[in-house]
Amino acid sequence: MQLSVREILALYQRRELSPVEMMEVCLKQILKYNPMLNAFAFLDEKHALHQAKGAERRWKRDAPAGLLDGIPVTIKDWFHHKGWPTRYGSLASSQIAQNEDSPPVARLREQGAIFLGKTTLPEYGHKGVTHSPLTGITRNPWNRERTSGGSSGGAAVAAVTGMGLLHLGSDAGGSIRIPASFSGAFGFKPSPGLVPNWPPSLFSTLSSTGPLARCVDDAALMLDVVTQPDARDWFALPFPSPNFSAALKKPLPKLRIAYATSINGITPTPEVTDVLKKVRPLLDALGKVEEITLTVPHLVDVFNKHWSAVASWSAAQFGAREKKKLDPRFLHWAAQGDALPLHDYLQAERDRMTIGEYFKSLLDTHDILVTPTTAMTAFEAGADMPVLANGRKWDDWTPFTYPANLARLPAASLPAGLDKNGLPVGLQVMGGYLKDALVLQACKKLEETLAFTPWTLSASPDTPPGRA
């Protein structure tokens, strides 16, 4: 269905579409595409239909429960949903049902959203692809032999194929933006603290909760809901968030744009570069563009030390029996953390400040920073990382995303076009801390200029893109 969430809500109001009919469309998409793409870790079709019938009755009385009454949504299997287990993509996790919602889930529920199920992730979200011992491989909707990206890969695939309308993900190094780029969705990582979270994450300010959707308008509407306060998160911002949907309706001033296609000497593949060359002239319509070279000290070292420290703590929560069930790659990260001296970790914290100062200075003189989202398009499904030639290191495929996490910046990925193999290429837009509304405004203007969404690329509303 090639409609935004607001358009669907308007159809509910005019009695031209019911929540039950909308739910049946989404369930049809799931039945058709999930067996081949594997986007869901948990499905509750019966309960979703029951909830849709309740929403239908409310709309008939002109008494919707909230902003999203009757809208089918999914949540990454990282968040708690009352009555469902949270497995984190791990065989070692508990199968016990949770007794309360995480904050963004609670806010969605209060506004009438209907939960279809939980989407897939790699074990404890520890890598930029989506396959795990628990759920297997999540595949790219454009080519099933390629990865969806990760760690919110199931959410991105569900967004592109219409298996739900709004999708909740998390991002501690690119986990919303990488799968958005690889799978052709829109994904947004808010400034840390904007979306309350619980249980608390050791990733702290590295991690943010955010939406994956088919368009910027839908993502903004979801943010309007999930940014509402929750007393359980001591780190959440102590003041009201802006109305992001309202911000999209405001005129966008001429922007000062920094544009970079390399970082620390790492450049995209020719396939990505070819798409970016077509996009670059469109940036001039948004304002003054300055082409820059990003040279940021300590990036990889700081990020790896933070991640390995968290992995070490996480793995230590399991006994020897459960540890045998963990992904070997996750245990590799944990072993690195085990060997990390405290002094080195504290030095990484200090170096992170230097990284933050670099980007703060850049975004004091520019309104947004535009880069590729990833340095390549989707690689082989089931692989933890691509096979890179010419002396490139394993982490050279995604050097552009985790700086936003280290520097506490809002960042989005929107689809910019297809490479010569028919795979999506993502464009990343970053802004200053708490300049989330401005980033969304710029993405909205680019989305309109590019005229490129999953809808425009699908052969029909019932046919997903690519060869899926």
Closest CA relative to residue 227, chosen from 198, 276, 194:
194
Q: Which strand ranges, in their side-by-side order, compose the sheet holding 166-171?
A: 40-43, 114-119, 72-76, 166-171, 208-213, 186-189, 411-418, 424-431, 368-372, 255-259, 287-291
Q: Which residue's structure tokens are 């029951």?
A: 50
Selecting among 76, 118, 189, 305, the annotated active-site residue is 76
Residues 359, 89: contact at Cβ < 8 Å? no
Asked about 28 being catalytic, the answer comes back as no
Could you tell me where the DSSP H helices lie in 212-297? 216-226, 244-248, 270-279
> Could you tell me where the beta strands, DSSP code E, fall in 340-387?
368-372
Instruction: Give the count of beta carbons closer than 10 Å to the beta carbon of residue 250.
Output: 9
Q: Which of 102, 151, 183, 312 is catalytic?
A: 151
**288 a catalytic residue:** no
Q: Measured between alpha carbons, how far is 79 from 87 in angstroms, rounded to an integer?
A: 9
| CB under 8 A, 24+ apart: contacts of 438-441 | 438/247, 438/367, 438/368, 439/188, 439/368, 439/410, 439/411, 439/412, 440/188, 440/216, 440/219, 440/220, 440/223, 440/244, 440/247, 440/248, 440/412, 441/247, 441/248, 441/250, 441/252
* CA distance to 11, 65, 112, 306, per residue, from 243 (Å): 23, 19, 19, 33
DSSP state of 17: S
Identify the active-site residue in 4, 90, 152, 175.
175
Q: Is 241 a catalytic residue?
A: no
Task: Tell me the CA end-to-end span of the chain in Å, nearest whole number.
Answer: 17
Give catalytic residue positions: 76, 151, 175
